Structures are given as structure tokens and as C-alpha cells.
């Protein structure tokens, strides 16, 4: 079942624009990270404090029907805002092209985290440099139907 609530667009102009174009074209446009050929999906989460729906383009790291959300924030010292949404409300909607489905979210640890981290870096090598830029262990969330 789709998430319900009031959608409040991002305060970041590039995020707002990418989400809007991606959704309007079912991912045929704005389907890659700006300036790259790396594919993205749009993840809708419920705001941790507001309860409003939030949408973010997230790198497409997928395997066997499950998606990985990497809370790297480009190697910043703090987590992205959507990290707190995932922790507070562990159910999200993923739009991959024209397909939308609801997924349960869980944070990965131990060997399972390492396995998915290796897959994430193989999918998008820049994640390795993000890990080098920060002292925090970058949280990984597995999104499963």
C-alpha cells in the first residue's frame, strides 16, 4: 500500500527539480545522478518530526529485488536528513522507473553490512572515497518488499 500524507518538496532546488522530472517521466528523464551516468531511484519516506512525505533521489544499488540506501551524504560528518526518517518510520516507497512499491527498511550490521557495502562500492566506486572523508561508519539500509 502506498504511503499517505502531505508531500513537502525538498528545500534543495536540485533535489526538487530532479524528483519532479523523474516522476513526471517515469524515470525516462532525470534518471541519473546529475553530471554522471549513474542511475538513481526516488525514495519517499515519512518525515521523522513532521510526518510529511519527503522524496529523495538515491543512487540505485539493487540486488535480487532489494535496494540499498547508503546514508553517505558525500562523506559529510553527519547523516543525511532522510536517515532519521528511515529510523523513525521504517517503511518507504521506491520508484524505479515507472514501478513503485512499498519496502520495509532495516539498518545493516556485521557481515551483511560488509557484503552490501562491497556491492555498493562495486556499483558506484565513489562510495569508497566518501568513507575515507568521514570518521563515522556510513549507515546502510536494506529496503525489502
Residue 7 lies in a domain: no
Using one digit for the tens of pLDDT, what is the confidence trace for 13-40?
A: 999 999 999 999 999 999 999 888 999 9
Strand arrangement, sheet containing 140-144? 53-59, 40-46, 91-96, 99-107, 140-144, 66-70, 61-63
Residue 3 lies in a domain: no
Measure Cα distances from 23 to 2, 57, 60, 78, 142 in Å.
15, 11, 15, 28, 23
Residue 20 lies in a domain: yes
The CATH number covering residue 132 comes to: 2.30.110.10
Residue 55 lies in a domain: yes
| Upper half-sphere CA count for residue 83 (Cβ side, 13 Å) | 13
Residue 8 lies in a domain: no
Using one digit for the tens of pLDDT, what is the confidence trace for 43-81?
A: 999 999 999 999 999 999 999 999 999 999 999 999 999
How many domains, in total, are found in the chain? 1
Residue 58 lies in a domain: yes
Range of the domain at 127: 13-144
DSSP labels, 103-131? EEEEE--HHHHHHHHHHHHHH-THHHHHH
Amino acid at each position: 500500500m502506498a504511503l499517505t500524507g502531505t508531500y513537502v518538496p525538498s528545500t534543495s532546488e536540485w533535489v526538487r527539480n530532479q524528483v519532479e522530472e523523474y516522476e513526471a517521466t517515469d524515470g525516462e528523464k532525470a534518471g541519473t545522478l546529475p553530471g554522471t551516468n549513474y542511475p538513481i531511484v526516488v525514495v519517499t519516506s515519512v518525515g521523522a518530526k513532521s510526518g510529511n512525505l519527503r522524496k529523495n533521489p538515491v543512487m540505485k544499488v539493487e540486488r535480487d529485488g532489494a535496494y540499498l540506501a547508503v546514508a553517505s551524504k558525500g562523506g559529510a560528518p553527519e547523516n543525511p536528513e532522510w536517515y532519521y526518517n528511515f529510523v523513525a518510520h521504517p517503511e518507504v516507497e521506491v520508484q524505479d522507473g515507472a514501478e513503485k512499491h512499498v519496502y520495509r527498511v532495516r539498518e545493516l550490521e556485521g557481515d551483511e553490512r560488509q557484503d552490501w557495502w562491497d556491492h555498493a562500492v562495486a556499483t558506484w566506486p565513489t562510495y569508497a572515497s566518501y568513507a575515507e572523508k568521514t570518521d563515522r561508519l556510513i549507515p546502510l539500509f536494506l529496503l525489502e518488499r
